[in-house]
Structure 1
Amino acid sequence: MQNYNHFFYDYFVSVGSSASAAKYLNMLALSIILLIVIFIIDFLIRKILVQIFSQFASRSKTNFDDLLVTNKVPRNVAHIIPLLVAIEFVPAVFIDFQGFEIVAERGLKVFAIVLTLWIVRSLLNTLKDYFKTLPNLKDKPIDSYIQVFMIFAWVIGIFSAFAIITRIPFYSFLTGLGAASAVIILIFKDTILGFVASIQVSINDMVRIGDWITFEKYGADGNITEINLATVKVQNFDKTITTIPTYALISDSFKNWRGMTNSDGRRIKRALTFAMNSIKYLSKDDVVKLKKIQLLTAYLEKRQEDIDSFNANHNIDKSLLLNGRNLTNIGVFRKYIDAYINNHSAINKDMIIMVRQLEPTAQGIPLEIYAFSSDKRWENYEYIMADIFDHLIAAVPYFDLEIFELPSTSAFTHSDKK
């Protein structure tokens, strides 16, 4: 080995170079040869490993090996053998320069740490992509756990590299962290908060990838596409992307629509407001006219019979409509809405159906529909709700009611002309 180490040294001395120059030229020549050998070995092993993995992945049924190739695991693993070759032959290259040998060995050890981190990252990314293909895990915040592990791995790697470069024992670095803990906590504040938040989000099942959330503070209204250690990405319905700090999910209030999507219907909760001066008792003629509405015929006949019986048994003076029991146009319309909703094919009859009168306001008396559509898809839900209210708004004049609305410019114009 000694002869090979000084082969170029002997040659340069024989051609007239000084001993000092011959040593440097010998080191340079051996370095070039070692680099060429390492490059060739790395190229061949990388090609062979990638080819083997690719062929194996194309034949296997699982997609895990495909993901290994996609995330460059074979390519990174292929660097191990050239690295070992370099570590083995560095002493021979720098045999006459102990200082250079020490620097080169430390550099190779640091590169070994970096290469280890690359391999670990590739494997973790492969596991992340694979877990996302599993039905039970695809909506879990896998990215957060991967990032937390990589942060710890990089911290340990950096400390190990410093320990190698400075020749200070690794344990001394760890003991020195106590004095710098306040600075470290300040630097990694968001990371620590995100880590804690990710654990709580996962354990409490607060959000999943694919959930529709509404977060008014951050202007988010859409589906979660990614949950990371520090951020949650939401694709809004206008296709914009909103980024929310992960810890905000546990510190602030937001709305998760998963309960609705997992239920049997989507809620319809909307009201029509009627002008109070349009509300009146119904005369017998009014009742006769409304009996022509098929959804009300049976109800009005039974209801009117009960009212007439009550008024007769109590000797009510019906010369004044106010006396005794009476039907009102808003009450009958409320019953019509209830019958119409119960007969609507798009309403889930197994969930609550209610038409209620809300507290009077300065604009009038609201009648609110509270029901659930069977179809939860947004576009279909909006169509169903619009179809219901189109019909009800058009039906209002048949009951001599008036929907409240603020006067328009045309209303003032007609008033001036009069």
Structure 2
Amino acid sequence: MQLSTTDYLEEINKQSQSKFYDWSYHKLLQAGFNSEWAHTINSIVLLFLVILILLIIDFIARKVILSVVTRFIIKSKNSIDDYLIKNKTLKYISHFIPLFIAQQISPIIFLGFPNWLKAINKGIEILLVLNIMLIVHSALKTLRDILKTRKSFADKPLESYLQVSQIVLICIGGTITFSILTGISPLSFLVSLGAASAILMLVFKDTILGFVASISVSANDSIRVGDWIEMPKHNADGTVIEINLNNVKVQNFDKTITTIPTHTLLIDSFKNYRGMQTSGGRRIKRAINIKISTIRFMTEEEIQDLERIQILKPFIEQRRLEISEYNNRSQADQSMPVNGRKMTNIGLFRAYATAYIRQNPNINKDMISMVRQMDPTEHGVPLEIYVFSNDTRFEIYEGIRSDLFDHLFAVITYFKLEVFESPASDDLRNLSIKIDQTHLQ
């Protein structure tokens, strides 16, 4: 509501005005405008003039002052001020200058318009609150970036904590803003908000669950940034690249990104390979299926031939002595091969594989290392290699495993053994040809 001429003159007498305001107001009166129009036009012109001045001040604060500060910070060896520039903390602080000036001169411009003055003051106060929120938020982001450089915080879910802080900041800023707009005290607003807590719990259910999950994950140290996890239910198999309030981002080995809701880490199972990575060894567990029909006793000539294998020779010499002592003691009839003890080709191959693994420099000697025979199946007798490589990196590990089995597959024929293979089309074709040749003969 606009003041009448009488009320306006009384307001003039009550308050001290700017000489410039008085001068421009009287100039408009001399130009033929009545007091109300002169007052309105004077306020509008001064408003645009002040806005222009505030924009210039803001430009100077951001471009001139900040540029000087930035050059000084760049020369500084401290990294904290670099993060302040990156997160625009100083830029938001510079906005205080025009807002403070606007708050001081608005009563002069809108002296005769109390309703306008009240609304503009509320707007400036809200802008100040928003600017403070931006400063606090940028400071929190700076704190996050600084903590990321610390080794003890590098694998912690800092994004989750930042997002929780943002939510708290928004709630506080929203409460203060609502209080400014309505004139209700923040405490009364919070009391009335308690009645709607059930609705808020429903709306922010996922956020609350994510927050609880983030705290639990951090407290139990069940997952960190950089961990390799496997979660088949969500088709995730790769490295954790981010943990925030609502989800966990996993970069799979095919470079795709899988997003998993954070709270599912509490209710669904997942496999974390961190223990394997920190142990210094990665398990190799693979079997060679030996064709059962090729398993037999070895003749002395064949044993002497295998004795030329350097890593197998000590085993053969010791085993020959043990067998000889046992057979002499039991007076076994050597004319029948079944009597007494004999060396078998699969036993010698197992001994060779064990000796080869023990002298392999790529195998971790501090962990379990064995070659074991599994239960026979329709695919032969599985001879399982159960060892740990001394390098957990994926590409190195695969190379170690491949080299190990390349060698074992190559030497198995020296032990008169065959690896089981399902018949291929060529096998059936050759068998058919042999049958036809037999019939022709």
User: What range describes the TM-score normalised by the shorter chain of this pair?
Assistant: over 0.9
Gaps spanning 5+ residues in structure 2: where? 1-15, 435-441
Higher radius of gyration, 1 or 2: 2
Q: CA 1:408–1:167 in 2, change beyond 3 Å: closer, same or farther?
A: same
SS at match of 1:294: coil
SS at match of 1:242: strand
Partner of 1:248: 264
- TM-score between the two structures when normalised by the length of structure 1: 0.95
Partner AA of 1:148 in structure 2:
V
- TM-score between the two structures when normalised by the length of structure 2: 0.90
Partner of 2:403: 387
Are 1:351 and 2:367 an aligned pair? yes
Decide whether the 8 Å contact of 1:12 with 1:22 is kept in 2: yes
Of 315, 325, 340, the match for 2:356: 340
Structure 1 range deviating more: 136-145 or 319-328: 319-328
Superimposed CA distance per residue, residues 390-410 of structure 1 (whole angstroms, 9 cap, x where no aligned partner): 010111111122212222222
Decide whether the 8 Å contact of 1:191 with 1:229 is kept in 2: yes
Structure 1 range deviating more: 75-84 or 408-417: 408-417
Are 1:142 and 2:158 an aligned pair? yes
Deviation at 1:297, TM superposition (A): 1.7
Of 308, 332, 335, the match for 1:292: 308
Counterparts of 1:31 and 1:159, CA distance in 2: 30
Partner of 1:27: 43
Partner of 1:199: 215
Deviation at 1:351, TM superposition (A): 2.3
Counterparts of 1:286 and 1:302, CA distance in 2: 17
Partner AA of 1:128 in structure 2:
R
Partner AA of 1:61 in structure 2:
K
Counterparts of 1:166 and 1:413, CA distance in 2: 91
Are 1:369 and 2:353 an aligned pair? no
Partner of 1:109: 125
Are 1:124 and 2:134 an aligned pair? no
Counterparts of 2:126 and 2:33, CA distance in 1: 35
Partner of 1:162: 178
Are 1:187 and 2:176 an aligned pair? no
Are 1:238 and 2:254 an aligned pair? yes
Deviation at 1:20, TM superposition (A): 3.4
Q: CA 1:407–1:21 in 2, change beyond 3 Å: closer, same or farther?
A: farther
Counterparts of 2:72 and 2:217, CA distance in 1: 38
Superimposed CA distance per residue, residues 342-369 of structure 1 (whole angstroms, 9 cap, x where no aligned partner): 1112112222211111222332221111
Counterparts of 1:376 and 1:334, CA distance in 2: 26
Deviation at 1:248, TM superposition (A): 2.2
Mapping of 1:390-401 within 5 angstroms? Answer: 390-401=406-417
Counterparts of 1:360 and 1:105, CA distance in 2: 87
Of 70, 75, 79, the match for 2:95: 79
SS at match of 1:165: helix
Counterparts of 1:69 and 1:76, CA distance in 2: 10
Partner of 1:210: 226
Deviation at 1:17, TM superposition (A): 2.7
Of 285, 288, 295, the match for 1:269: 285
Gaps spanning 5+ residues in structure 1: where? none
Decide whether the 8 Å contact of 1:358 with 1:366 is kept in 2: yes
Counterparts of 2:95 and 2:67, CA distance in 1: 15
Decide whether the 8 Å contact of 1:141 with 1:208 is kept in 2: yes
Provide the aligned C-alpha RMSD in A: 1.8
Q: CA 1:96–1:395 in 2, change beyond 3 Å: closer, same or farther?
A: same
The percent identity for this pair of structures is 45
Of 250, 273, 298, the match for 1:282: 298
Superimposed CA distance per residue, residues 3-29 of structure 1 (whole angstroms, 9 cap, x where no aligned partner): 543444333332223433333212211
Partner of 1:360: 376
Counterparts of 1:361 and 1:9, CA distance in 2: 106
For these two proteins, the number of residue pairs brought into alignment is 418
SS at match of 1:369: strand
Decide whether the 8 Å contact of 1:224 with 1:232 is kept in 2: yes
Are 1:314 and 2:301 an aligned pair? no
Counterparts of 1:361 and 1:7, CA distance in 2: 107
Are 1:62 and 2:78 an aligned pair? yes
SS at match of 1:360: coil
Partner AA of 1:189 in structure 2:
K
Partner AA of 1:287 in structure 2:
I
Counterparts of 2:365 and 2:84, CA distance in 1: 51
Superimposed CA distance per residue, residues 333-390 of structure 1 (whole angstroms, 9 cap, x where no aligned partner): 1111000111112112222211111222332221111222222222121111111100
Decide whether the 8 Å contact of 1:91 with 1:101 is kept in 2: yes
Partner AA of 1:390 in structure 2:
D
Partner AA of 2:139 in structure 1:
L
Counterparts of 2:62 and 2:322, CA distance in 1: 92
Counterparts of 1:361 and 1:104, CA distance in 2: 86
Are 1:305 and 2:321 an aligned pair? yes
Partner AA of 2:162 in structure 1:
I
Superimposed CA distance per residue, residues 21-69 of structure 1 (whole angstroms, 9 cap, x where no aligned partner): 3332122112112111211222222234423431332232221111111
SS at match of 2:153: coil
Counterparts of 2:65 and 2:420, CA distance in 1: 76
